Amino acid sequence: MRVVLIRHGEASDPRASSDASRHLTLRGREVTAEVARALAEGGIVPTAIYTSPLVRAVQTAEILASVTGHPGPILVHDHLVPGAPTARALSVLDDQPPGAVVALVSHEPTVHTLAGHLSGLGGAFPGFRTSGVAVIDLDEEGAGRLAGRFDPTSMRWREPSDLAP
């Protein structure tokens, strides 16, 4: 199974509205679409997309689905919100078919914690910029290997060995 971890795109000022209703900025939408195009061009098309229920994450998931041609629904998973327990956030991976490509759209620090846990790198895993991506391959026993990261600032793939933020 391949797990694609994505931090939501750049969002509106947290002082302007409640955290749950913060939406993507125009720049956040544009960068997220560019990142989604890079994923699609790299052959990474999710077979399942799960998102935090917060508006900015849902909007990020919608852009990801639209740009990559994701064939199915976007599923809201309450345990992808900041501070949710790792085991609950990852529970959606339990029933995925072989060869699944599962996208999880979340927030910092949750996305960082999930990446560290799945990759086996723990706290050494760097933080995610908005619209940042980590791709982790899991074997049949659930052992993970970081396949790569996509940096939304440089719009380039980073090698697994490059763990600088």
Helix, strand, coil fractions of the chain, as percent rounded to 5 = 35, 25, 40
Q: Considering the domain boundaries, does residue 163 fall inside one?
A: no
**Residues of the domain holding 134:** 2-101+110-158
Residue 10 lies in a domain: yes
Whether 118 is in a domain gets the answer: yes
Element (H, E) at 2: strand 2-7
* CATH code of the domain covering residue 148: 3.40.50.1240
Q: How far is CA 69 from CA 24, 64, 90, in A?
A: 21, 8, 24
Say if CB 123 and CB 133 are below 8 A apart: no
Are 134 and 110 in contact by the 8 Å Cβ rule? The answer is no
H/E segment holding residue 147: strand 144-151
- Tally of domains within the chain: 1
In a domain? residue 165: no
Burial of residue 10, with CB atoms counted within 10 A of its CB: 0-12 exposed, 13-18 middle, 19 or more buried: buried
* Token output for 31: 């960068």
**Digitized pLDDT (tens) for each residue of the chain, 165 residues in all:** 999 999 999 998 777 777 777 899 999 999 999 999 999 999 999 999 999 999 999 999 999 999 999 988 999 999 999 988 999 999 999 989 989 999 999 999 999 999 999 999 888 888 899 999 999 999 988 899 999 999 999 999 987 777 666
Rounded Cα gap, residues 1 and 140, in angstroms: 8
What sections of the chain are H helices per DSSP?
Answer: 26-41, 55-68, 86-89, 110-119
